[in-house]
Amino acid sequence: DAGVTQSPTHLIKTRGQHVTLRCSPISGHKSVSWYQQVLGQGPQFIFQYYEKEERGRGNFPDRFSARQFPNYSSELNVNALLLGDSALYLCASSSHNSGDTDTQYFGPGTRLTVL
Amino acid sequence: QKEVEQDPGPLSVPEGAIVSLNCTYSNSAFQYFMWYRQYSRKGPELLMYTYSSGNKEDGRFTAQVDKSSKYISLFIRDSQPSDSATYLCAMKRPAGANSKLTFGKGITLSVRP
């Protein structure tokens, strides 16, 4: 069984540009969460989607947006990129919205560098 | 004060040593506790998942939770060079609330052969 997949693996952008990151969850999983991991820090929660609806949003500016598609894959969009957006962007999938024992499985991440 | 504090690193130990990794938290709403291992340039991999106070063992790994002290630990016995990675503690609230994970900063462990 394939795990969580993310694309692209690496991305280099310049300030002010826009970026779209993609995630495919584990087959059968309906929930996708996005996290930002800055170098030397733990992942920070950005969004959670379940059944195509936003179920949670972290403390990130409106430049960050996301959506989930009918096949449960997801996109994270970031507009007007800043140098501080340089980070590893992680996608995690789980089978439920917020089950007590629900486990989040992470993908390999997309490393975004903003110049 | 951050919701989750993790002992600063890095940590370097000889092969075969017992390793103790620790996190404290301030929010008593956290009920579920996890340890993730993250190799360089990879996504976090779940190692242990615990709910109640007490110990949970899985092979060379033992997770310990003390809710009264808001303190969790991960012990690694007979550490191996392949254990060299960053270890992240993570916590979440019960079902019905946002199921987001709140992570510690992570500690980098190096096991010397």
Residues above pLDDT 90, as percent of chain B: 73
Per-window interface: B 28-87 vs A, CB < 8 A? 32, 36, 41-46, 49, 51
Find the domain containing B86 and state its range.
4-112
Residues of B with CB below 8 A from A60's CB? Answer: none
- AA identity, residue B99: S
* Buried/exposed A42-58: b ≥16 CB within 10 Å, e otherwise: bbbbbbbbbeeeebbbb
Mutate to test the interface with A, among B48, B101, B107 (most CBs of A within 10 A): B101
For A54, which residue in chain B has the nearest alpha carbon? B98
Domains for chain A: give ranges and CATH numbers. 5-94+105-114 (2.60.40.10)
Taking residues A35-39, report their average pLDDT: 96
- N residues, chain B: 113
Whether B22 has a pLDDT exceeding 60, the answer reads yes
Whether A98 has a pLDDT exceeding 80, the answer reads no
CATH number, domain of B53, equals 2.60.40.10
The pLDDT, as a whole number, for residue B7 is 84
A45 closest CB neighbour out of B43, B94, B101: B101
CA atoms within 13 A on the CB side of A43: 36
For B9, which residue in chain A has the nearest alpha carbon? A40
A97 — pLDDT class (breaks 50, 70, 90) = low
Instruction: Say how far apart CA A114 and CA B19 lie, in whole Å.
Output: 37
pLDDT in tens, A40-79: 899 999 999 988 899 889 999 999 999 999 999 999 999 9
H or E segment to which residue A50 belongs: strand A44-50
The pLDDT, as a whole number, for residue B97 is 54
Residues of A with CB below 8 A from B42's CB? Answer: 108-109
The pLDDT, as a whole number, for residue B89 is 97
Instruction: State the alpha helices, DSSP H only, in B5-82.
Output: none
pLDDT, chain B, mean? 92
pLDDT in tens, B78-108: 999 999 999 999 998 876 656 789 999 999 9
B105 closest CB neighbour out of A41, A104, A105: A41
Contacts of A71 (CB under 8 A, 6+ apart): none
Per DSSP, the three-state class of A57 is strand
Contacts of A112 (CB under 8 A, 6+ apart): A11, A12, A13, A19, A21, A78, A85, A86, A87, A88, A89
Q: Encoding tokens for residue B4?
A: 């989750």
Taking residues A16-30, report their average pLDDT: 95
Q: Cβ–Cβ of A42/B94 closer than 8 Å?
A: no
Residues of B with CB below 8 A from A105's CB? Answer: 46
Contacts of A35 (CB under 8 A, 6+ apart): A43, A44, A45, A46, A89, A90, A91, A92, A106, B101
Q: What burial class does residue A16 get, using C-beta atoms within 10 Å of its C-beta: 0-12 exposed, 13-18 middle, 19+ buried?
A: exposed
pLDDT, chain A, mean? 92
Residues of B with CB below 8 A from A98's CB? Answer: 95-99
Closest among A37, A11, A12, A9 to A23, alpha carbons compared: A9
Residues of B with CB below 8 A from A111's CB? Answer: 41
B105/A contact by beta carbon, under 8 A: yes
How many domains would you assign to chain B? 1
B99 closest CB neighbour out of A42, A58, A102: A102
Contacts of B33 (CB under 8 A, 6+ apart): B49, B50, B51, B63, B65, B72, B89, B90, B91
